[in-house]
Amino acid sequence: MNHADLVALLKPGVQEQGGRWADLGAGEGAFTVALAELLGPAPVLESVRDMLRPGGRMIVVEYSTDHGNPWVPYPFTYATWVRMAEAAGLQGTEQLHSVPSRYFGSMYSALSLSPRGEGQGEGLRRPAT
């Protein structure tokens, strides 16, 4: 995968330059799985959802498989993401783009939206303290 592929995965979900974005890289995903075991899969995503402004955008980039290996232990398909996003209260999930991958056949990007509350906004907000 080259830089143009990486940009192509994100570009459909980015409406304009600027704004506030966060890159939540999971590396091998070991801590994400451990946290999900302690908190439950839905509470982890609900926490991320709660950091988004009303109508904020969350872009997921993942390999298109539900079966990992030692190097990519916890990938999930778009269909699995749709279920996870819905369970966490994210809305409007749609697949944005897909590129070939030599590891698992392909990678996809998907966009999910935080529910709109009062007002409208994009990006992240600070969690309540």
Give per-residue pLDDT as tens, 16-60. 777 777 777 666 666 666 666 666 677 778 888 888 999 899 999
Q: Is residue 26 part of a domain?
A: no
Contact (CB, 8 A) for 65 and 80:
no
Show Cβ contacts of residue 22 under 8 Å, excluding neighbours closer than 6 positions.
Answer: 51, 124
Residues spanned by the domain of 104: 1-13+40-129
Asked if the model's pLDDT at residue 89 lies above 70, the reply is: yes
The region of weakest confidence among 28-32, 63-67, 69-73, 117-121 is 117-121
Look at residues 102, 115, 18, 97 and name the one whose alpha carbon lies nearest to residue 59: 97
Q: Is residue 35 part of a domain?
A: no
- This prediction has a pTM of 0.77
pLDDT given for residue 128 in this prediction: 47
Higher pLDDT, 2 or 59: 59
d(CA 64, CA 105): 7
Q: Is residue 62 part of a domain?
A: yes
Count: domains in the chain: 1
